[in-house]
Structure 1
Amino acid sequence: MDSFVQPALPAHDTDDVGLPAELTRFIGREAELAEIQDVVQRERLVTLMGAGGVGKTRLALRTARRMRERCPDGVYFVELSELRDPELLANAVAAVVELPEQSERAARTPLEALIAYFGARRLLLVLDTCEHLVDACAVFAQSVLRHCPQARILATSRQPLDAPGERVLQVLPLPVIDPDDDARPGAEPGDAMLLFAERAAAVVRGFALTDANRGPVARLCHRLDGIPLAIELAAVRLRALSLEQLLARLDRRFRLLSGGSRGVLPRHQTLRTAIDWSHGLCTEQEQVLWVRLSVFAGEFELTAAEEVCAGPGLPPEEILECLIGLVDKAIVLRLDDEGDGGDARYRMLDTIREYGRERLAESGAELEYRTRHRDHCLALAEEFDARWLTRDQVGWMRRAWRERASLRSALEFCCTEPGEATAGLRLAAALWGLWLGTGRTVEGLYWLERLLPLCPEPHPARVTALRVAGHLSLMSGAHGRGLELTGRAEDAAHEDGGSVDAAYVVFNRGLAHTLVGEVDWALERLTDARERFAGLGERGGEAWMLGTMCGAYVCAGEYDKTLATCEETRPVLEPLGERWVQGWVGWIQGCALWGLGRHEESATVLRSALTMCLEINHAQGIAFCIDTLGWIAAAEGRHERAAALLGAADRLWERFHDPRLGIPAMHRAHAEATAATRGALGERRHEESYAAGAALSLQEAVDRAVAERHPAGTEAGAKGARGNGGWAALTAREREIATLVAEGLSNRRIAERLSISKRTVDSHMEHIMGKLGYASRTQIATLAVAADR
């Protein structure tokens, strides 16, 4: 090798020689580009790994252009998708770098010629689409990097090369808005929406994002998983279809999203061919697992995959190895840990899952595996029901929420498959804590009211479903409907109901009187229900009774009795260790203190209750706490803060039948605070502050409510923040991030603001919490605000 002559590289007239021209504008991904460039500068072999159509090639090209100054001897792009013979890999690279003929003759093989040609030159090779040649690419990369110390290789692949020294960076789809998150009016569109709008404008003159079409565009991008290829193919279809027609036809996406630009590679001309390419890379058993995993509509764990997907051709003990293979090929995504110490979780993008569902239907085994999946979901829901009012609540609420897509899929199966309605009623009713705890009462009622007519015959599951539906209606503010359903449950319980159902029927009656302020009638029924629950050993039901008793007094305006009853509940609630009822009691106590004019105490209690409610995303508790903090601000003359908090609360209440559970006293308090604030600020200033509050996300609204301290405690709070060493212990970057947390920004938004990766922000957040001993963002926000004063 040392005897090889090192010829001069060919002269280049442009900066982009060796790189294909970009024919469309590159959208977003600045944080990812910054991370990739940083890694390529430090590592010599970097692989961008991700599913087909996710944008690996565009990221590699953009990175290569940014690396030109650091690679003065050349940046070269080698497209490998059409190469089938691994023996010709070095030849393909040689053709791109225009290897002089004398170099080829001077060596025994094209690889040796390339090594001699590269020598000590500072250059970057981009090897695009390596997945069907991973072994050859790994050998090539290892040989080049061993002998050419200044060469770097950036590869794109649907699976790692597994070469020594390789650094793999996962390329994910563009972020999309989750329909389960609160959409904020006027929020800036994400990169996925901007990409769709950009490509749509190329085929429909004058197309632009507007207030009228933002919602449908956001839903379209979410349904397409934020996959750039799918989004671009969908935009092309606007030549013939409206946006609404596109959305309506996405269940047939593989027929709809075909026939893209003729100038692109064949594997990217349709969505199906892009995924067919990935399917062909899998072993036979991996293909079987892919198809069976398609019954999971969202996240899943290994044990669930083993339980549901084992069968002919795929024994349980071989599922792990196949799952690893699918993760390596970017068919299945391994999700980031949430720090809860649980098992690893996985998911498939919906587009890839739907491809598997089509093949499952073709196999004739769809009913078998969807029934298995239903059984798995029912067992999970019933375990959740048994644990949700216990000290295990937080973990099980989070797990059930993560499983919500699969739970919905199982419910849909029960609604549409003959003979499955009874199992569906059991499933929907067992999830009553999920619907209540996360403020999804309307969704719970939707499933129950779809399933009840399908199961008209007397059955214990029907009794439970009726009393749960009555409870959800009452807790959504629909008092009349709640009493009607409770009456039907009471009639059915005489024939088929159990003692737990009978106790909840009595409780529903007491709850109805509670919400309209009829304290004597409420307490009579709640006491009866409490005795029934205590006799049955139902400690969770008993705790909920006690919390509702506290609510009966506060709704009637009997604030001293409210505080006394709250104190009486502690010996029962605190050992139970759950958060939902305690969150309610925290708000009730804070509301009573507000009613007594003890504003500073009330604000302290409400901030604590907010933190507790946020642990399980207790939407109603959060809304009530923010609402009441708004009433306090109005009473203290802090009208801009009051208007913002009232706007945030009203935004959270929109998902319910009637805000504030339809409680007349709470409606009056809200109306009085709004009138006082509007009168003090004037219509224009009030609307501006109110709209700003309404535009906050759930996390931002909580951060705003918690971070702003009561005036009497402001100076002391600031001194404490400066004096305890917490703020001083943070680095300059950590303080910068903490300040942005106080502004209500998510980790992703912070990454975009600072032009760093989200992973880096996540790491800083872990360090901040570790240094300060904090457990929530609200604590960080509070410290940052106090330190700034």
Structure 2
Amino acid sequence: MNGSPMVQPAVHGGAGIPLGGWHIDVLGPLEVRRAGQVVELPPRRRSLLAVLALRAGTMVTVDGLVDALWGEDPPPTAVRTLHAHIAKLAALLPGNGDERLIRRRDPGYLLDAETARVDRVRFEELITGGLRHVADGRFAESARMLSRALALWRGEALADCPVHGWALTEVDHLHEMRLQAHEGLLASRLVLGGLPESGTGEIERLVAQHPFRERLWELLIVALHLGGRTGDALNAYHRVRRGLVEELGLDPGEGLRQVEAGVLRGVTDPRELLRLPTGRTPAGTGPLTVPQQVTTLIGREAEITGIRELLRAARLVTLTGLGGIGKTSLAVAASRAAADDFADIAFVDLAPSDDEASIVAAIAEALGVHPRGGRLLDEIARRISCDRVLLVVDNCEHLVEACAPIVRELLGRCPHLRVLATSQQALRVPGEALKPVPELRVPPPALVRSGTDLVGHDAAVLFADRAGIGKLETLSTRDARAVATICARCHGLPLAIELAAARARMFTLPEMAHRLQDPFAVLTEGPRGARPQHRALRATVEWSYRLLTAEERRALRRFSVFNGAFTLEAAGAVHPETAPLEMLGRLVDKSLVKVVRTAAGTRYQLVATIRAFALDRSRAHPDEHARTRQDHARHHRRQAEEIERRLQGPQLDSQVVQIAERHEDVRAALTWLTENDPEGALRLAASLWRYHYLRGGYAEGRAWLSSALAARTPEVPSGTQAKALWALAKLAALECDYREADEHARRALELYTRDGDVTGVARSRALLGAIARELGHYDRALEYAHQSLAAAERGGDRWATGHALQLLGFVSWLSGDWDSAGRYSEQAMHCFRPIGDHERLAWCQIDLGAAAYYAGDLDTAARHLHRSLLMSFGIRFREGIAWAENLLALIDLRQGRRRQALRRLVTSLELHHELGDRWRLASVLDALAGALAGHDAPLAAELLGTAGWLRDGMGALVPACERAELAATRARIVDRIGAEAVERASALGRWQDVTALAERVRLGSAAR
């Protein structure tokens, strides 16, 4: 043969397979056809194609192909020869793009099941359906399907293709399924009206080929008996009994003995003789070995329903989750709930098993199958080959590699078998449906005000049940919060909650909650008789930890440094030795790491109890722990600096969310850097100023910066110090601590000037201008703003230029220069639009809106302010929201919408109070007083008193644009209650809590 395929007319098209396209038949000598024409291939390439066809649609590794083609002793050149055969085979089987038959899939190859039709696939579909009909008692349908399945066979599978290893096992499996098809077809025909003499002869032929297959002997005895040859039937029983005893040393199985007994009794119903259904699913004997539930299962109703539905759709369902999550209890409850769907249910606990043989032995014991000298797994398969059985296989995680092939073989040989497995990781068997078992719902402790708040949270209900508390609704506030804290510190893990409940009898609930700060020390001494790994929380976690490889343990220790969810990139930063995607995938598969979907993308998070244990193990390796903390801190510093650069662009909100998601990790990084890397600490703290500004975390940002500056050393570059001082000054100004803000801003200006940093100079002067603006020193503020503008333009910094222009606009409308305010604000927007900085654009809209309002153009003002409000909501900019609501309320008051104005003003008041912005808070209090002057003059006077007290403490003045309205408000109040009453109320207001004032305004507004 010259290497080109020989194409000949097809002898036949193969039963049930239409002509056209690629067809590969393995149920007999290998036959390859394209568009009805036979394609001849050289011998070795025939075997290679046959091996790929045995697993059509599934990737076969290079090692697997070598094993199948050469067996245990491949030549040294096997891999190179294999690749050459693949290339030549691909050339002999032409196809481009989606029509290519053989595709490379690392680390191996696959035969595309969409491009080629393999008769094995059709055969398995037909036999599965046919045997299902036998089990359902639909014998006419089963006979038709099984006849079509057997018609696909043309001889011994792959008779002309020598194969080895797993491929030989696959061929044996096909022959086993062929025998099952024969048995099912013969049984169906017996039920439908008996067999002709030729049918009995067919059984005789099969019995001769398989003399120890008891089901075939059962069929022969029944056929002879129903054909009027009862004597021959009994002789056949004695023949098989003698053969089993003499050759194998075994007595006939229960099925053969029942057939003989039925023949002796004269039974003529083949269904009774062969133990076949009567047209409906038999009630069966119910659960065989499923453990009884000693305690009630709480909070798993939805999971039980979901598992039952999955078992109807999938043949293997695996419950995955961390040890102690309640997989076993759930599997028991779900299997009992599904009892009506099965003839038998068998429960197998693999915890005591340690190898493949002990797994098979445990399954056999659960099913009541006894060894007879042959392969035990074959005996199990024969026992349940046609029965509707649910096999519950518990605790597979330590034997996944051994368990998976056993489950796969049983599912392949027993078409009505369903398997419900529990494991910390998937079995990875084709067709497996995974059902992760979640933690129980935990009540958020901060939101619990009474026992009623615990109702409906499964973790609290379970704790109350096991601790004998009684009704949750009757708990006091203190005890209810303690229960919520206990459940939170148990992380919703049922085992931990039950252990805590057992301990709770020794302490009050608040005491128990306090002790659970170290759950591993408290949650010990579980119930006697429980598995060792379930008698203490630490033992449970250690069980999971011991199942890991050394590499996985090291990765888990490294990842424990993260306080919350982390990215793939962050994982690589603290554990660069292995590919993070591969390692995280392995830990996710083992239920130790959770995949978290967030607005910013996919994140990963260690299960809480695992993290606590792994962190403890990490500290036991001091050098590794120190290196991990360093890598973690420096990664977050680099990330924060990179994000800061993007906080002035169109992705502002997503970048803020990213920092918010890492908040606890950033805090831990800053702590480490402050102690070990003063420059890194300053860089990280300074890079976060705008995050704190946008989120309103002024106080926290100041604390971080102050701590980092206090720890700095002389070696820290002056530019780094200047940036930190500027950031601290900015946040201090936002909290209206103008003295400290001015001091730090001037120091930053000195350093920037000395270093020749034009942009730093521009921003420092702008900040000094902002401080002067809020103190009411408008001339000085304008002077600083113009100096900042000149420096920014000189340095070519578009953002700093816009910032200076926006400051000019802000100062202009506060001082009463509406025209200049509008002009400067428009110029500032022209700078910020190309950058896409929505926070600054929102400010420009506020400035334009304020200028238009004070100029009397209310429609234009409302348009700008609504735009600002929408933009601020879009980026979660709390200060922008507070300002827009404040100014929109003034428009509402002018246009007679007093109730709406009050709602807006109260919202603004609360936001400014939360932010700590006392300067604007005073203006909002003045506006509220104006809205209430004609309705509740005493309260209005108190509001004015509070505003005045705030300004006195800051050394700030009433903004010039607000002075006329404030004077009018005060006059209206005096007219209603008199000057003396105003003074008394104002004095009282100086001691009022702003939150209480807001509540009084809200209640008064609602009453009116």
> Shared topology, TM-score over 0.5?
yes
On the 8 A contact 1:193/1:217 being kept in 2, the answer is no
- Summarize the Cα distance change of 1:319–1:550 in structure 2 as closer, same or farther, 3 Å threshold: same
Counterpart among 614, 618, 635 of residue 376 in structure 1: 635
* Counterpart Cα distance in 2 of 1:641 and 1:264: 63
- The offset of 1:307, in angstroms, is 3.3
- Summarize the Cα distance change of 1:508–1:275 in structure 2 as closer, same or farther, 3 Å threshold: same
User: In the TM superposition, what are the counterparts of 1:296-445 in structure 2 within 5 Å?
Assistant: 296-310=562-576, 315-316=577-578, 318-336=579-597, 338=599, 345-365=603-623, 366-415=625-674, 417=675, 419-445=676-702
- Summarize the Cα distance change of 1:553–1:129 in structure 2 as closer, same or farther, 3 Å threshold: farther
* Counterpart Cα distance in 1 of 2:890 and 2:511: 45
Counterpart among 244, 248, 266 of residue 532 in structure 2: 266
- Summarize the Cα distance change of 1:469–1:162 in structure 2 as closer, same or farther, 3 Å threshold: same
On the 8 A contact 2:886/2:924 being kept in 1, the answer is no
* Counterpart Cα distance in 1 of 2:858 and 2:289: 69
The one-character-per-residue Cα deviations of 1:374-427 (angstroms, maximum 9, x if unpaired) are: 222222222222332134534433333333232121112234x3x433421221
Q: Report the equivalent of 2:958.
A: none
User: In the TM superposition, what are the counterparts of 1:606-625 in structure 2 within 5 Å?
Assistant: 608-625=867-884
On the 8 A contact 2:489/2:517 being kept in 1, the answer is no
- Secondary structure class of the residue paired with 1:81: coil
- Summarize the Cα distance change of 1:568–1:543 in structure 2 as closer, same or farther, 3 Å threshold: closer
Q: What code does the residue aligned with 1:46 have?
A: V
User: In the TM superposition, what are the counterparts of 1:368-767 in structure 2 within 5 Å?
Assistant: 368-415=627-674, 417=675, 419-455=676-712, 459=716, 460=718, 461-479=720-738, 481-483=740-742, 485-486=744-745, 489=748, 500-515=759-774, 519-553=778-812, 562-589=821-848, 608-625=867-884, 655-658=914-917, 662-670=920-928
* Counterpart Cα distance in 1 of 2:890 and 2:449: 24
Q: What code does the residue aligned with 2:826 have?
A: E
Q: Report the equivalent of 1:199.
A: 463
Larger Rg: 2
- The offset of 1:575, in angstroms, is 0.2
* Counterpart Cα distance in 2 of 1:263 and 1:676: 76
User: In the TM superposition, what are the counterparts of 1:276-287 in structure 2 within 5 Å?
Assistant: 276-287=542-553
- Secondary structure class of the residue paired with 1:617: coil
1:156 aligns with 2:422: yes
- The offset of 1:21, in angstroms, is 1.6
The one-character-per-residue Cα deviations of 1:510-551 (angstroms, maximum 9, x if unpaired) are: 222344565444333233223333333443344444444444
The one-character-per-residue Cα deviations of 1:613-665 (angstroms, maximum 9, x if unpaired) are: 34443333344445666676777777887776666666655642247x64432
Q: Report the equivalent of 2:403.
A: 137
- Summarize the Cα distance change of 1:145–1:665 in structure 2 as closer, same or farther, 3 Å threshold: same
The one-character-per-residue Cα deviations of 1:452-476 (angstroms, maximum 9, x if unpaired) are: 3333758534443232122113224
On the 8 A contact 1:224/1:230 being kept in 2, the answer is yes
* Counterpart Cα distance in 2 of 1:575 and 1:483: 32
* Counterpart Cα distance in 1 of 2:448 and 2:850: 27
- Summarize the Cα distance change of 1:284–1:452 in structure 2 as closer, same or farther, 3 Å threshold: same
On the 8 A contact 2:829/2:844 being kept in 1, the answer is no
- The offset of 1:489, in angstroms, is 4.8
- Summarize the Cα distance change of 1:364–1:669 in structure 2 as closer, same or farther, 3 Å threshold: same
Aligned residues: 658
Q: What code does the residue aligned with 1:474 have?
A: A
- Secondary structure class of the residue paired with 1:278: helix
The one-character-per-residue Cα deviations of 1:689-735 (angstroms, maximum 9, x if unpaired) are: xxxxxxxxxxxxxxxxxxxxxxxxxxxxxxxxxxxxxxxxxxxxxxx
- Secondary structure class of the residue paired with 2:351: coil
1:26 aligns with 2:298: yes
On the 8 A contact 1:643/1:677 being kept in 2, the answer is no
* Counterpart Cα distance in 2 of 1:665 and 1:258: 59
- Summarize the Cα distance change of 1:39–1:668 in structure 2 as closer, same or farther, 3 Å threshold: farther
On the 8 A contact 1:646/1:674 being kept in 2, the answer is no
- Secondary structure class of the residue paired with 2:318: strand
- Summarize the Cα distance change of 1:649–1:21 in structure 2 as closer, same or farther, 3 Å threshold: farther
* Counterpart Cα distance in 2 of 1:211 and 1:387: 45
The one-character-per-residue Cα deviations of 1:306-329 (angstroms, maximum 9, x if unpaired) are: 33323xxxx35x554333322221
Q: Report the equivalent of 2:318.
A: 47
* Counterpart Cα distance in 1 of 2:899 and 2:289: 58
Q: Report the equivalent of 1:689.
A: none
Q: What code does the residue aligned with 1:151 have?
A: L
- Summarize the Cα distance change of 1:579–1:143 in structure 2 as closer, same or farther, 3 Å threshold: same
The one-character-per-residue Cα deviations of 1:223-254 (angstroms, maximum 9, x if unpaired) are: 65444444444555544566666666666443
* Counterpart Cα distance in 2 of 1:665 and 1:91: 81
Unmatched segments (≥5 aa) in structure 1: 680-789
- Summarize the Cα distance change of 1:72–1:246 in structure 2 as closer, same or farther, 3 Å threshold: same
- Summarize the Cα distance change of 1:46–1:201 in structure 2 as closer, same or farther, 3 Å threshold: closer
On the 8 A contact 2:802/2:829 being kept in 1, the answer is no
Q: What code does the residue aligned with 1:199 have?
A: F
- Secondary structure class of the residue paired with 1:333: strand
The one-character-per-residue Cα deviations of 1:27-65 (angstroms, maximum 9, x if unpaired) are: 3784x6665554444222222322333344454445445
On the 8 A contact 1:301/1:345 being kept in 2, the answer is yes
* Counterpart Cα distance in 1 of 2:530 and 2:515: 24
* Counterpart Cα distance in 1 of 2:337 and 2:819: 68
On the 8 A contact 1:631/1:673 being kept in 2, the answer is no
- Residues 552-561 or 252-261, more deviating: 552-561
| RMSD between superposed Cα atoms in Å | 4.3
* Counterpart Cα distance in 2 of 1:624 and 1:124: 65
Q: Report the equivalent of 2:370.
A: 104
The one-character-per-residue Cα deviations of 1:274-295 (angstroms, maximum 9, x if unpaired) are: 2211211211111122122222
- Residues 644-653 or 324-333, more deviating: 644-653
Taking structure 1 as the reference length, the TM-score comes to 0.71
* Counterpart Cα distance in 2 of 1:243 and 1:636: 56
* Counterpart Cα distance in 1 of 2:306 and 2:890: 45
* Counterpart Cα distance in 1 of 2:469 and 2:365: 41
* Counterpart Cα distance in 2 of 1:528 and 1:21: 79
- Summarize the Cα distance change of 1:95–1:624 in structure 2 as closer, same or farther, 3 Å threshold: farther
Q: What code does the residue aligned with 1:665 have?
A: S
- Summarize the Cα distance change of 1:467–1:88 in structure 2 as closer, same or farther, 3 Å threshold: same
Q: What code does the residue aligned with 1:195 have?
A: A
- Residues 141-150 or 544-553, more deviating: 544-553
- Secondary structure class of the residue paired with 1:572: helix
Q: What code does the residue aligned with 1:666 have?
A: V
Q: Report the equivalent of 2:352.
A: 82
* Counterpart Cα distance in 2 of 1:485 and 1:29: 60
- Residues 238-247 or 535-544, more deviating: 238-247
- The offset of 1:161, in angstroms, is 0.6
- Residues 84-93 or 373-382, more deviating: 84-93
* Counterpart Cα distance in 1 of 2:509 and 2:524: 17
* Counterpart Cα distance in 2 of 1:61 and 1:645: 56
- The offset of 1:428, in angstroms, is 1.0
On the 8 A contact 1:503/1:529 being kept in 2, the answer is yes
Unmatched segments (≥5 aa) in structure 2: 1-179, 184-213, 216-254, 256-273, 276-281, 938-1008
* Counterpart Cα distance in 1 of 2:910 and 2:450: 13
- The offset of 1:577, in angstroms, is 1.2
- Secondary structure class of the residue paired with 2:352: coil
Counterpart among 382, 407, 412 of residue 146 in structure 1: 412
